[in-house]
Amino acid sequence: AGKKVLIVYAHQEPKSMNGSLKNVAVDVFQKQGCSVDISDLYSMNFIAAATRNDITGELCNPQHFRYGAETMEAFKKGVLCEEIIKEQKKVQEADLVIFQFPLYWFSFPAIMKGWIDRVFVQGFAFDFPSIYYNGLLKEKLAILSFTTGGTEEMFSKNGVSGDIRYLLWPMQHGIMHFCGFKVLAPQISYAPEYTGDKERKDMLLSWAKRLETIWEEQPIECTPPWYFQ
Ligand code: FAD
Ligand code: ZN
């Protein structure tokens, strides 16, 4: 109780499996007395593209635009656009951030990748040398909860798509761990479109059950062997 959760959610359809997984999480956390904030990216019409419009006011170098340098400076001055500032506040408040999404091309949907590109600004999420175990978000937990088209068997070491952990490397290590998050094991709901209703209900139940004791979980050992051995 008293913990704060942010769910960054990317699905166009509330009746989707992703919508149901998101709802399950909201329910469990509310029962726990935790506060839940949701960034429903499609409903918000969240802009995915990282552009000059993310900086309000004058640029440091309008002759040669550098997104990273300009957003870092704008963050310090408090002149990032309102959309980004709002999301950064939500992240700042959260003890746990859950990313709920359907796997698109072995990765996040563009709208969610865009949220990451624009919200995890240098100076806010990381800085140099504040990366990985010293990342600026190191007091927080992150979980990827996603659905796939492919089956669990396809995402095994000898399966056609290879071990699911190969694709978790850029998302969990390159992004979450880089920014300091302690990464909890991913919640993967395989192939909901191709299983029966019973299996889908089971996936939702197992997510609900896991979330009941989520605050007791230890983060994964987020180093190359976890992914590639
Ligand atoms: P939905 O189709 O919305 O839901 C599946 C079923 O669950 C539906 O029948 C729905 O009615 C049912 N359902 C919803 N709620 C409940 C409930 N409470 N109880 C019981 N049933 C319920 N897949 C890969 O594996 N690898 C890829 O690289 C990949 N790339 C993609 C790229 C793109 C651009 C796209 C569009 C898809 C890609 N996919 C890929 C497939 C994608 O990951 C799946 O289509 C998606 O994960 C399915 O999840 P969903 O929430 O959209 O399913
Ligand atoms: Zn790592």
Give the CATH superfamily of 4-228.
Answer: Flavodoxin domain (3.40.50.360)
Ligand 1 contacts CB of residue 204 (under 6 A):
yes
Instruction: Name 175's Cβ contacts closer than 8 Å, sequence gap at least 6.
Output: 116, 120
Judge if ipTM > 0.95: yes
Give the chain's mean pLDDT: 98
Distance 210 CA to ligand 2 centre (A): 22
Ligand 1 contacts CB of residue 103 (under 6 A):
yes
Q: What is the pLDDT of residues 147-204, one digit of tens each?
A: 999 999 999 999 999 999 999 999 999 999 999 999 999 999 999 999 999 999 999 9
- Residue spans per domain, the chain: 4-228
Helix (H, G, I), strand (E, B) or coil at 100: strand
Distance 190 CA to ligand 1 centre (A): 9
Would you state the structure tokens that stand for residue 48, as one six-digit string? 């995915």
Ligand 1 contacts CB of residue 105 (under 6 A):
yes
CA atoms of 212 and 196, how far apart (whole Å): 25
- What would you report as the CA-atom Rg of the chain, rounded to the nearest whole angstrom? 18
User: What is the share, in percent, of the chain residues with pLDDT greater than 90?
Assistant: 99
Q: What is the pLDDT of residues 16-74, one digit of tens each?
A: 999 999 999 999 999 999 999 999 999 999 999 999 999 998 999 999 999 999 999 99
Per-residue pLDDT band at 1 (split at 50, 70, 90): confident
Q: Which helix (H) or strand (E) holds 187?
A: strand 187-189
User: What is the share, in percent, of the chain residues with pLDDT greater than 70?
Assistant: 100
Distance 35 CA to ligand 1 centre (A): 27
Closest-lying ligand 1 atom to the alpha carbon of residue 106: 28
